Structure 1
Amino acid sequence: ELRGCLLELSQDPHGTRVAQKVVEEAVRRGMVDELLEALPTQDMSSLACSVTGFHVVVKLLELLPDGMVEPLLETFCSNPKPLASDQWGCCVLKKCIDRSQGTLRDRLVDTITENIPQLVEDPFGNYVVQHLILMGEKRPTEYVTRVIDSLQGLMLDLCFQKFSSNVLEKCLQNSSDSDRNKIINELLNGSEKCPPSEAVRKIIFHQFGNYVFQQALEVAQEPQFSLLVEHSKQHIQDMVCRNLPPKEKKEKPADAQGGDLPVVSTADADALLSPVGSLSLEHAKRLATKLVKKYPALAWGLAPEALGLGVGGVAGWYCDHFSAYAQGDYAQGDYDAAW
């Protein structure tokens, strides 16, 4: 009775629940042919981008037997880019990746990989790329390597974009040491217009880039870790030692006409002079303080008072954080409480 209106039901906020139940029962009762006749493959692409219809498509992908799901997968594999960039289509495409096998999956992944530089900056496409990175029970997988290789030459710029910076974080978390080094080395190399130390400074104090930098420090091995420290240490220590403007209300001077002249605080002036996307001075200082406390190598030579520790707490903090380093690559001689 629902055969003629199942497609319409799938696109209705309430009818979609009925359509999903029909899919479940049709598969359970062996009525797949009748089901696919009521939901023709040629209509699946539009249904996949529907706020209600995509639930029905996902249900089909989950429940259809292997032999009968392939035509549906072929439909989506032939042109996955529009799906990847759609709010609901990206969910369908992720399910297609999971359900496909063999050469069909290879074709789908190949097409996605060709478009990765565009997808990582897309509000929805980036989730498809992250899905590739997180595929498989044992990581890293070959898919992570393919994602990273597709982004070579673009890493520095991608740090400053909201969605692509999330992808870079996932790559750093789930890749092999050799693939991580590809990302970290590119960040350290800077560009023709931006030397390494300046590039690192921009990343550290950028609203999105700082997360990539923190993740890089978290996973980096030698010599990349020491290089990250070398290029960032001075910038971080300068920020730790920087004084924040006092938070007090200032009197507004009157202009010649008796009106009020705008007063720009030190923090506002600092923000005006900073590149677009930079953290506020207060936020940047908190981040820098957090980093020197977490990574002792960033704190060498920094006055203890800059960390906001009282005299009684200074010695204990340095003992706790530097004792392990005194026996390793960062050995600086015996601990001296007066230092």
Structure 2
Amino acid sequence: MDGQVLQCVKDQNGNHVVQKVIEKVEPPRLQFIIDSFITDKADSVCSLAKHPYGCRVIQRVLEHCSEEQKRPVLEHLHSNIDDLVLDQYGNYVIQHVIEHGSPSDRDRIVDAIKGDVLKHAQHKFASNVIEKCLTHGICLL
């Protein structure tokens, strides 16, 4: 798979293989997957987070990889919160961080969106992020 990760992640069937590899293989052996997301010059983390299959793979990374592996992925996500919250698939990744992420990662998301709660609450995709915050008892005021 090394060298073909992004192609597999964006494939209707290949993404399931990558997800299963992430779920079943110990994190140290998954570094080549993380590297393929981070070293791409086109900001693959955010483009994958906005992809119908890539968003699922990013969520598996956040669930199963080590903190050291997740941190660069999270940093890319944090630097693009405004764009991802409004995206059809990116909003799922942000919701996933709210539900499963560390308190500091949740706080960074809340800090980024709390100034535009009304705008986000009225948006087709961003409203899902607002709802996730509220269902998890996160104050947006």
Q: Aligning the two structures, in what range does the TM-score lie when normalised by the shorter sequence?
A: 0.7 to 0.9
1: CA distance, partners of 2:116 / 2:97: 19
2:22 equivalent in structure 1: 61
Offset at residue 56 of structure 1 (A):
0.8
1: CA distance, partners of 2:128 / 2:32: 33
2: CA distance, partners of 1:86 / 1:175: 28
Q: Deviation digits for residues 88-129 of structure 1, max 9, x if unmatched?
A: 110011011112223322211111011111111111110000
2:13 counterpart letter in structure 1: T
Q: Choose the corresponding residue for 1:156, options 73, 95, 118.
A: 118
2:58 equivalent in structure 1: 93
Offset at residue 66 of structure 1 (A):
2.7
Structure 2 CA distance for partners of 1:174 and 1:77, relative to 1, 3 Å: farther
* Match status 1:119 vs 2:84: yes
* Match status 1:166 vs 2:117: no
2: CA distance, partners of 1:65 / 1:102: 13
2: CA distance, partners of 1:91 / 1:84: 8
Unaligned runs of 5+ in 2: none
Offset at residue 76 of structure 1 (A):
2.2
1:135 counterpart letter in structure 2: H
Matched residues, percent identical? 28
Q: Deviation digits for residues 261-306 of structure 1, max 9, x if unmatched?
A: xxxxxxxxxxxxxxxxxxxxxxxxxxxxxxxxxxxxxxxxxxxxxx
Offset at residue 153 of structure 1 (A):
2.5
2:67 equivalent in structure 1: 102
- TM-score normalized by structure 1? 0.38
Higher RCO by CA contacts (8 Å cutoff, separation 6 or greater): 2
Offset at residue 141 of structure 1 (A):
2.4
1:71 equivalent in structure 2: 32
Q: CA RMSD in A?
A: 1.7
2: CA distance, partners of 1:168 / 1:77: 28
Q: How does 1:1-339 map to 2 (within 5 A)?
A: 39=1, 41-78=2-39, 79-135=44-100, 141-176=103-138, 180=139, 183-184=140-141
Larger Rg: 1
2: CA distance, partners of 1:172 / 1:143: 16
Offset at residue 152 of structure 1 (A):
3.4
Count residues in correspondence: 137
Unaligned runs of 5+ in 1: 1-38, 185-339
2:25 counterpart letter in structure 1: L
2: CA distance, partners of 1:82 / 1:95: 16
Offset at residue 57 of structure 1 (A):
0.8
Check conservation: 1:135, 1:141, Cα contact below 8 A.
no
